[in-house]
Chains A and B, each alone.
Chain A
Amino acid sequence: MELIYSRTKTIQEDKVSGFCPGCMHGTVMKLIGEVIDELGIIEKTACVLGIGCCGLQMDYMAYDNATAPHGRACAVATGLKRTNPDTLVFTYQGDGDLASIGLAETMSAANRGENITVIFINNGIYGMTGGQMAPTTLVGMKASTAPFGRNAKDHGYPMHMCEILNQLTAPAYLVRTSCNNPQNVMKTKNAIKKAFKNQLEGKGFSMVEIVTSCPTNWGLDPLKCLDYIEEKMLPEYPLGVIRDR
């Protein structure tokens, strides 16, 4: 029988992911793996992982990886890429990591135009630590540290990282996608591929912000999460290419 589909080689054959049911990290892992397979770059790829659920992939992805201190992935990637320009270096970070504790590192790497790729998973919440409020938590959205919902008076408003980085001169590519339906999954894959190609072509800093869910900490079943993304997250975080140079 003809084989028409197989799992990406970039995911180890004998491993299972540690992600919760319905979590979109798994989807994004698969997309990254497929892009790496298609570009044929597995032997020259290194990933810098943020702290949190992002790190659960370290056990089963096939590429080289290092875990950065919380928030410092872009700084670690800077050091690695500058000294190994032929290696494809990408960071994989959540919203707490990238937009809160690592805001300075993210902004500065983008501002320097580091030739790296940032995969930014925005699900509006801290996952591994148990559903605390993130800088991207929607106003009114409940979190374990915002039990009555995020209130703008005390906690400000959701941060739009693509738009913030778009104020800088250096970044090459800033795009926001989602994985809430098959079309958006395909767009996400194309965005990742373009961001990796940008790096291979030396274009500089690219960031793919992916709006995802967290069924466990949102307290919703995976299907309801898809509705929540469509109805609540995407109005706050509109999808599309913010910059492409």
Chain B
Amino acid sequence: MARVFMKGTEAIAEAAVRTGCRFFAGYPITPQNEIPEYFSRRLPEVGGVFVQGESEVASVSMVYGAASGGTRSMTSSSSPGISLKSEGISYCAAARIPMVYVNVSRGGPGVGSIQPAQMDYLQATKASGNGGFRMRVFAPASVQEAVDMTYKAFDVADQYRRPVLILIDGVVGTMMEPVELPPMKSDEEVAAMKEAKKAWTLTGHKLDYAHRAWIQPGNWSTKVMQSDSEEDAALYKSWQKEAEAEEFMLDDAEVVLTGYGISARIGKSAVKILRAEGIKAGLIRAKTVYPFPYEAYDHINYKKVKGILDIEMSIPALFVEDVQVAVKDRAPISTCLCSGGNIMTREAVLTAARKIMEAK
């Protein structure tokens, strides 16, 4: 298939359109503006709808409405805007509404910096809104992966009737790379996907209590709430087997670099340089950050490994908390961090990895 040269944000939007997304609502914030801009041009071409919402809060509610009507729908934002969207995300999770949203994350907290960062890890994986719900969270490290994961995310959202998050940073969002785009779903396929949801979507039903659509982001009955919560918990647990990670040169690794997104990608290139120097380095890159790929860390050869190096564009380190759970004290963990919109450098990673190997 022919390669096209695309920006991460635009490639995500195109992948969404190709997998049948026909509604997008969003609000401007750097560095994700190309997503709404792209949709505003592209959706009318395929009979879809773009709305620039009056706020992030309104935009996510529009998506909640469109998805409640059965249309594959999306919104996007960047860190402070994602905080605002947490209201609607929580409603979608509670009401079991499939939707996909993107966080092109920047430095924080507060308005922070508009430069790339990975400081929303805990928000993305632990508490994207009130009420203890969980979501599938994909963390692509290249434009191609962003495309493939977006395409898949809509299927996952529909399969489980839950929101799905694509978590990238400003580097993956704003960089351009060659990409092979997935096939465009036909109008018939898109219509069939909507039709398949008809039983529960807000499109009108027979005058008959049993058949009406009732989108409930909660329930008056504590009994129902408890059984819904139990169902949710079982679902979240079942997702663990779908955790994904890239494992690179782990078998004989004496130092294992780990992270997600752009940091881990830079880490992988560092592994190659270290290997060329004769240092046995390896890498675990989380491709999904919820569910977290705990199992990958069991593939480390703990008899050989001298240390684990957590690489993150966040100070304090956040991803490392899950790494600690995964490693279970079997090896020491150190960190290589940057923040404030500074982008991780390979040199910093190499220096940190060499230091682990120099320690006795």
**Real complex partners, A and B?**
yes
Say whether, besides A64-B202, A87-B204, A75 and B68 are in contact (CB < 8 Å). no
- From B67, B202, B207, B217, residue with most partner A Cβ within 10 Å: B202
Asked if B54 is at the interface of the complex by the 8 Å CB criterion, the answer is yes
User: Given A80-B69, A82-B49, A83-B71 in contact, is the A72-B204 Cβ separation under 8 Å?
Assistant: no
Given A78-B51, A104-B54, A105-B54, the answer on whether A83 and B204 have CB atoms closer than 8 Å is: no
Give a binary string over A105-142; 1 marks a CB under 8 Å from any B CB, 0 the rest: 10110001000000000000000000000000000000
A159 cross-chain contacts in B, Cβ below 8 A: none
Q: Which residues of B contact A81 (CB under 8 A)?
A: 65
Contact indicator A66/B95 (Cβ below 8 Å):
yes
Query: Given the complex, which residues of A lie within 8 Å of B209, measured CB to CB?
Result: 12, 62
Task: Annotate B210-247 by CB proximity to A: 1 below 8 A, 0 otherwise.
Answer: 00111111101000000000000000000000000000
CB < 8 Å: which of A42, A46, A69, A79 contacts B66? Answer: A79
Asked whether, in the complex, the Cβ of A64 is within 8 Å of the Cβ of B207, the reply is no
Assuming the A-B contacts A83-B49, A105-B58, A108-B58, are A75 and B202 also in contact, with contact meaning beta carbons closer than 8 angstroms in the complex?
Answer: no
Interface flags for B29-62 (1: CB within 8 Å of A; 0: not) read 0000000000000000000010101110111011
> How far does the alpha carbon of A214 sit from the alpha carbon of B170 in the complex, in Å?
51
A146 interface hit (Cβ, 8 Å): no
B204-A66 in contact (CB<8A)? no
Whole-angstrom CA separation of A218 from B61 in the bound complex:
32
Interface set, chain A 44-78, CB cutoff 8 A to B: 44-46, 48, 58-59, 62-69, 72, 75-78
Asked whether, in the complex, the Cβ of B217 is within 8 Å of the Cβ of A67, the reply is yes
Known A46-B203, A75-B53, A83-B23; contact A67-B218, beta-carbon cutoff 8 A: yes
**Complex contact B65–A80 (CB within 8 A):** yes
Most buried by B among A59, A65, A79: A79
Q: Which A residues lie within 8 Å of B67 (CB)?
A: 79
Return B161 CB to nearest CB of chain A, in Å.
Answer: 14
User: A43 on the interface (CB 8 Å rule)?
Assistant: yes
The answer to whether the Cβ of B64 comes within 8 Å of any Cβ in the partner chain is yes
Q: What residues of A have a CB within 8 angstroms of the CB of B203 in the complex?
A: 44, 46, 64, 84, 87
Q: Contact check, B62 vs A64: say whether CB atoms are below 8 A apart.
A: no
Closest B residue by C-beta to A46? B202
List residues of chain A with CB within 8 A of the CB of B25.
78-79
Residue A9, interface by CB 8 Å: yes
Judge if B205 is at the interface, Cβ distance under 8 Å.
yes
Taking a contact as CB atoms under 8 Å apart, the answer to whether A68 and B64 are in contact is yes
Given A64-B214, A66-B202, A83-B23, the answer on whether A76 and B54 have CB atoms closer than 8 Å is: no
Contact of A67 among B62, B213, B215 (CB under 8 A): B215
Task: Give every chain A residue within 8 A of B68 (Cβ-Cβ).
Answer: 66, 76, 79-80
Interface residue ranges of A1-34 to B (CB < 8 Å): 9-10, 12
CB pair A65 B214 closer than 8 Å: yes
- A183 and B62 CA atoms in complex are apart in Å by 37
Total contacting residues, chain B, CB less than 8 A? 43
| Contact for B88 among A69, A83, A84, CB less than 8 A | A69
Interface residue tally of chain A, by bracket? 35 or more
Q: Which residues of A sit under 8 angstroms from B255, Cβ to Cβ?
A: none
Q: How far is the CA of A59 from the CA of B216 in the complex (A)?
A: 11
Q: Kindly state the separation between the CA atoms of A48 and B67 in the bound complex, as whole angstroms.
A: 13
CB neighbours (8 Å) of A43 from chain B are 204-207
- Is the CB–CB distance between A75 and B62 below 8 Å? yes
* Interface pair B204/A44, CB less than 8 Å apart: yes
Q: How far is the CA of A163 from the CA of B332 in the complex (A)?
A: 67
Q: How far is B212's CA from A229's CA once the two chains are assembled, in angstroms?
A: 36
Asked if A76 and B214 make an inter-chain contact with CB atoms under 8 angstroms apart, the answer reads: no
CA of A46 to CA of B66, assembled, Å:
12
B87 located at the interface, meaning its Cβ lies under 8 Å from any Cβ of chain A in the complex: yes
Chain B residues, CB < 8 A from A44: 203-204
Contact of B51 among A66, A79, A104 (CB under 8 A): A79
Which residue of chain B has its CB nearest to the CB of A82? Answer: B49
Tell whether, in the assembled complex, residue A82 and residue B64 are in contact, meaning their CB atoms are under 8 Å apart. Answer: no
Contact status A76-B62, CB under 8 Å: yes
Partner of A80 from the list B87, B202, B214 (CB cut-off 8 Å) is B202
Contacting pair A76 B65 (CB below 8 A): yes
Please indicate the chain B residues that have their CB under 8 angstroms from the CB of A68 in the complex.
61, 64-65, 91
The chain A residue sitting closest to B214, CB to CB, is: A65
Shortest Cβ gap from A129 to chain B (Å): 15
Chain A positions within 8 Å of B65 at CB level? 48, 66, 68, 75-81, 83
In whole angstroms, what is the CA distance A82 to B53 when docked?
Answer: 13
Q: Which residue of B is nearest A78, CB measured?
A: B62
Contacts of A80 in B (CB 8 A): 65-66, 68-69, 202
B88 pairs with A72, CB closer than 8 A: yes
Q: Measured between alpha carbons, how far is A44 from B207 in the docked complex, in Å?
A: 10
Can you list 12 contacts pairing A with B, beta carbon distance less than 8 Å?
A: A44-B203, A62-B212, A65-B214, A66-B202, A76-B61, A79-B62, A79-B65, A80-B66, A81-B65, A83-B69, A107-B54, A108-B58
Further pairs besides A75-B61, A105-B58: 14, Cβ < 8 Å: A43-B204, A46-B213, A65-B212, A66-B202, A66-B213, A68-B64, A69-B217, A76-B65, A77-B65, A82-B23, A82-B66, A83-B69, A84-B203, A112-B51
Instruction: Enumerate the 6 nearest inter-chain pairs by beta-carbon distance, A residue then B residue, closest first.
Output: A79-B65, A66-B215, A79-B66, A79-B62, A76-B65, A72-B61
